[in-house]
Chains A and B, each alone.
Chain A
Amino acid sequence: MIRIPCPFCGERDHSEFGYGGDATITYPALDAPAADWLEAVFQRQNIRGMQHETWQHVSGCRMWLVVERDTVSHEIRSVRPAHPGMGKALKEGS
């Protein structure tokens, strides 16, 4: 039962969220070679400790978030909107 502090909705149970995946992947251009896509789609680090990952608040604001989570303790260090413009709007709004 992880609790994720959604920047838009507040702290919620992880059951409201959908898990995305590794947030550090930079996806190649659509016409990039297959080798680049293989790397981006299939190769993953198996991190013990803090990792950046994407979650979507599916049963809430539906925003995609970048969550920094400790894979050992489930401690969540930071949460921000995945969309940079949204992050900016949040900051300016507050």
Chain B
Amino acid sequence: MSARRLPTGGRIERSKTLSFKWDGRDLTGFAGDTLASALMANNQRVLGRSFKYHRPRGIMSAGVEESGAIVSIGEGARHAPNTTATSEQLYEGLVARGQNAWPNVRFDMGAVTGLFSRFFAAGFYYKTFMGIPPFEWGSGTGTGIWMVYEKLIRNAAGMGDAPQHPDPDSYEHAHDHCDVLVVGSGPAGLNAAVGAAKAGLDVILVEQDFELGGDFLGQSGEEAETKRTNLIALAKAVNVRILTRTTAFGLYDYGTAGLLERVSDHMASGSESLPRQRFWTVRAKSTILATGAMERSIAFGNNERPGVMNAAAAGVYLNRYGVLPGQNIVVATNNDSAYQTASQLSAAGARVTVLDARTTVPTLADDSGLTVQMGTAPMEVLGAKGVSGLKTAVADGAGWKAQGSQACDLVLVSGGWSPLVNLLSHRGGDLAWDAENACFIPSGRCERIHMAGSAAGVWTIEDCEVSGMVAGAAAAQDFGKSSPTMVAPAPGGWLNPIRPLYEVKVEGQKLKSFVDPQHDVTANDVRLAHREGFVSVEHLKRYTTLGMANDQGKMGNIIGMALMAEALGKEVPEVGTTRFRPPYTPVSIGALAGRNSGSHFRPLRRTPLHDWNLDHSATMTDAGLWQRPWYFARTGETIAQAYVREARTVRNTVGLCDVTSLGKIAIQGPDTSELLNRVYTNPFAKLPIGKARYGIMLRDDGLVMDDGTTWRLSESDYFMTTTTAHAAKVMVWLEELLQVRWPDLKVHVSSVSDQWAGCAVAGPKSRACLSACVEDAGVMENEAFPFMGVIETTLKDGIPCRIARISFSGEMAFEVYVPSDYAPAMMDMLWAAAEPLDGCLYGLEALGTLRIEKGHVTGAELDGRVSIDDAGLGKMASDKKSFIGDALRKRPELLREDRPRLVGIFPKDPDQTFNAGALLCRCDAVSGFGEGWITGVSQSPELGHWIGIGFVSGGHEAWAGQTLIAADPVRKGNIEVEIVSPHMVDPDGERMHG
């Protein structure tokens, strides 16, 4: 190929020169160029290397279906691999590099694999490297060696490298609504948008290109440009909302479309104020798809050499970018469409020979100035890194025989056209094989989706315009608007019928004929797959990787199916088509994430005591969405020293802990006690006013959902606390029960988690601490306020509060709740009282220590697989009443004695420790899943060594006096442990009752 920029013509602005870098070389192009057109104008031929064989590749198209010119754009953190140069708008300072090659795409050491390509057919790697003898004979899967080789194979094959740094750009999510979404701004799309908007509808028109016009842009002559500018002016006049550089990548239910707008990708220096890309969710009541059609290739020898290109693409480079892609051109076609391009290239000064696979074509036989050879097809391209000539074949009945060769520098191919029905396919729209036009076209109606132009199989520009008007009118009718009645043009439009031709196969010729050039899938690979039994299209795809590259089968799918049909002796439609899935073209991960990245990845919840905790030297940690105090280190303390001190202080004096994150639900109404009695496993019917009760909730299937407390404040006013983790779930559950299952119960629930702030006051001096804070110290007397008592009272300064005497730590303890705004004032007061008592603030780590010592369960234990008996709480299941989960908790499997039960774990050697997550195994069987697992570990100041909590089959009684192994192969290794009762400290609970 010897390409050059023409002195005149095209849509580029020759007065605006843009400099860019290609593989380290400084080149220039013009405003209006794509990277591909600028590279072509600079006569750069080899732009990429293929996936498997490292064959040289050049520009093969002028659009998003590109399989050859796939490059990396940008540098450092902005490096974007696998970008199609054909759809990348050129800008000043653009830096692009070839990929999958070393040292560069023009001379690539990896190309030696091509010499062995006959060994590398479909499935080669799997057949060769899985279960290599003698290492893996009889070892079952044989995946071990594969895991090693796969890494090497992936290095040798492949695409560009992912950037190694955090993405410095910002991305946005946006939502919009409209009456009609029009996808594509070609002759059909512009007319459709204008028609619908004229009928008074709100229309959004999206175009993936940086210019509006679609096929108008690739035409020569004034007429197309006049039509284009008129239609755009008209569209603006009727308020069509236009988005360019925007791809509709997916269609979803209810007229939802996903759009990707490339906002600042084309800007030389980026933009501080603009996002790089914008991810749109548009909800349209009706959708018009005017997405055009894509020209197919034909499989013949070396049909992917740099210098082999789609015929229509050459027309685009000539007419839009003013580049003549070759001087001595062969145009190989099986249909009428390539003749126009051939004539234009000839008129621009190239020598053009047309090879027409059809034997007779009455109306085109004498086209102006072209050399036309009928009944002739390309057989094999000559030349290594470019085209030096073409061997041809001549029709021989239904087949082909070798003919001769001719010199040329560019081979243009037109194997027919495929309507772009991807978006319709996303919505499940049906396709039918149109044998006359050799393509799949939309068939049947898909509600509120209208196909227009070439996407509906209409070929000529004039017909496409009418087709667009018809679609616009049809959309207007969706809304009951009157609109002109027009007849939709029938699919087709060529003067002469196409001769379906997918492969030029010649007896006795060994050809490398590519079906999917990007993934190096050849016609022989398809036949091999068939011979090996992969006859379904879906299996064919997976075995050969046909259609799995960036272009997702845009180039090769139809040829692959046609070859499979031939191998099966069937017709194409009998083989079927695969369903297209979103996205139509790749969508960056950054755009999917939008602003939901970094600290905005998920919501952050802070308690009203957050600043107070920080002011008192808290180190925070994440607990679900919440930030909670982890520990309060004093100067010089490590985390271990801090939490051990805090836990010890709670056991000896008093500690304060922010427990605001617990779920809190206000439950009111005359039937509340009935509701509670049904959802908790233990009796709640007779909970007296002024008392709290600890309760367990099961799911319908009998497993534990959550635990918590419920306080009875008055006759019909209750206050429920849940775990932090399950607060939302319990609320939803109660609402479901009350609205769906038991609508007769007169109960109202509302979440008050945010309305109340809470503090646990725990330790032998907790009563003294609180007594100093309440207005009337009398309410804190032991008799007035016994274990599980509840009072509503006021703290000093008139702060309203509710207090329950409940304990998670095992010490005498209280939970105090005040309206959230009073939280810091409450803490100031409590801390002022606790500090002189040698008290402390404690965090989650010490809380864990205290509860593990006591064998109290949390979310780590109640993981949704645990029964009430497993958790050691079987005594809390009443046998005097029925409750949710009661029936199914008694399933035989859940009652087995050897189920994992809650246990305590001690190291045999008191100086040793182990990790949460370790498996508990028999000493003689450290393998598999073992006998249980460890859910929590802490140093125990009370016991003076490390302890753990977890589950072991049969519970601690089953393992009395035995040694188990806490197996933790990737961290600590194996530690000998013994199994004890989970109630490791104060098993009788004397401290909290005291």
Contacts and interface: CB of A to CB of B under 8 A. Distances in A.
Given A18-B732, A31-B882, A37-B888, A1 B252 contact: yes
Contact of A1 (B253, B701, B891): B253
Nearest to B447: A73
A38 B888 contact: yes
B736 A1 contact: no
Interface residues of B, number: 25
A50 interface: no
Contacts of A64: 735-736, 739-740
28 contacts: A1-B253, A1-B283, A2-B254, A3-B254, A20-B736, A20-B740, A27-B741, A29-B882, A30-B883, A30-B884, A30-B886, A31-B882, A31-B886, A33-B887, A34-B891, A37-B888, A41-B700, A41-B888, A42-B701, A54-B740, A56-B732, A62-B735, A63-B739, A64-B735, A64-B736, A74-B253, A83-B738, A86-B739
B736 A56 contact: yes
A32 interface: yes
Interface of A: 1-3, 18, 20, 23, 27-34, 36-38, 40-42, 54, 56, 58, 62-64, 74, 81-86
B739 A83 contact: yes
B57 interface: no
Nearest to A3: B254
A27 B740 CA distance: 10
B678 interface: yes
B602 to A, nearest CB: 15
B254 A85 contact: no
Contacts of B334: none
B740 A83 contact: yes
B19 interface: no
B736 A30 contact: no
Contacts of A31: 882, 886-887
A27 B882 CA distance: 14
B341 interface: no
B287 interface: no
Interface string B730-746: 00100110111101000
Given A1-B283, A34-B888, A83-B740, 20 more contacts: A1-B252, A3-B254, A18-B732, A23-B740, A27-B700, A27-B741, A30-B678, A32-B887, A34-B887, A37-B887, A38-B888, A54-B736, A56-B732, A62-B735, A64-B736, A74-B253, A82-B739, A82-B740, A85-B743, A86-B739
A3 B284 CA distance: 12
Most buried by B among A3, A27, A30, A81: A30
B254 A41 contact: no
Nearest to A23: B740
Interface string B873-893: 000000000111011101100
A37 B883 CA distance: 12
Contacts of A82: 739-740, 743
Contacts of B252: 1
Contacts of B254: 1-3, 74
Contacts of A62: 735
Most buried by A among B740, B884, B886, B891: B740
Contacts of A38: 888
B969 to A, nearest CB: 37
A62 to B, nearest CB: 6
Contacts of B700: 27, 37, 40-41
B492 to A, nearest CB: 31
Contacts of B882: 29-31
B749 to A, nearest CB: 10
B772 to A, nearest CB: 41
A83 B743 contact: yes
B256 interface: yes
Nearest to B256: A1
Most buried by B among A32, A64, A81: A64
B743 A2 contact: no
B740 A58 contact: no
Contacts of A40: 700
A64 B884 CA distance: 20
B373 interface: no
A42 B735 CA distance: 21
B280 to A, nearest CB: 13
Most buried by A among B256, B739, B882, B883: B739
Contact of A56 (B283, B735, B887): B735
B264 interface: no
B44 interface: no
B701 A41 contact: yes
Contacts of B732: 18, 56, 58
Closest 10 A/B residue pairs (Cβ): A30-B882, A1-B256, A31-B882, A37-B887, A64-B739, A83-B739, A82-B740, A34-B887, A74-B253, A83-B743
Contacts of B253: 1-2, 74
B281 interface: yes
A36 B752 CA distance: 36
Interface string B244-262: 0000000011101000000
Contacts of B891: 34
A37 B888 CA distance: 7
A38 B892 CA distance: 13
B743 A84 contact: yes
A41 B700 CA distance: 7
Interface in B571-592: none
Contact of B281 (A1, A27, A58): A1
A75 to B, nearest CB: 9
A41 B699 CA distance: 10
A62 B739 CA distance: 10
Nearest to A41: B700
Most buried by B among A1, A20, A33, A38: A1
B696 to A, nearest CB: 15
A18 to B, nearest CB: 6
Contacts of B736: 20, 54, 56, 64
A61 B253 CA distance: 24
A33 B882 CA distance: 11
A70 B701 CA distance: 28
Nearest to A37: B887
Contacts of B741: 27
Contacts of B739: 63-64, 81-83, 86
A34 B886 CA distance: 9
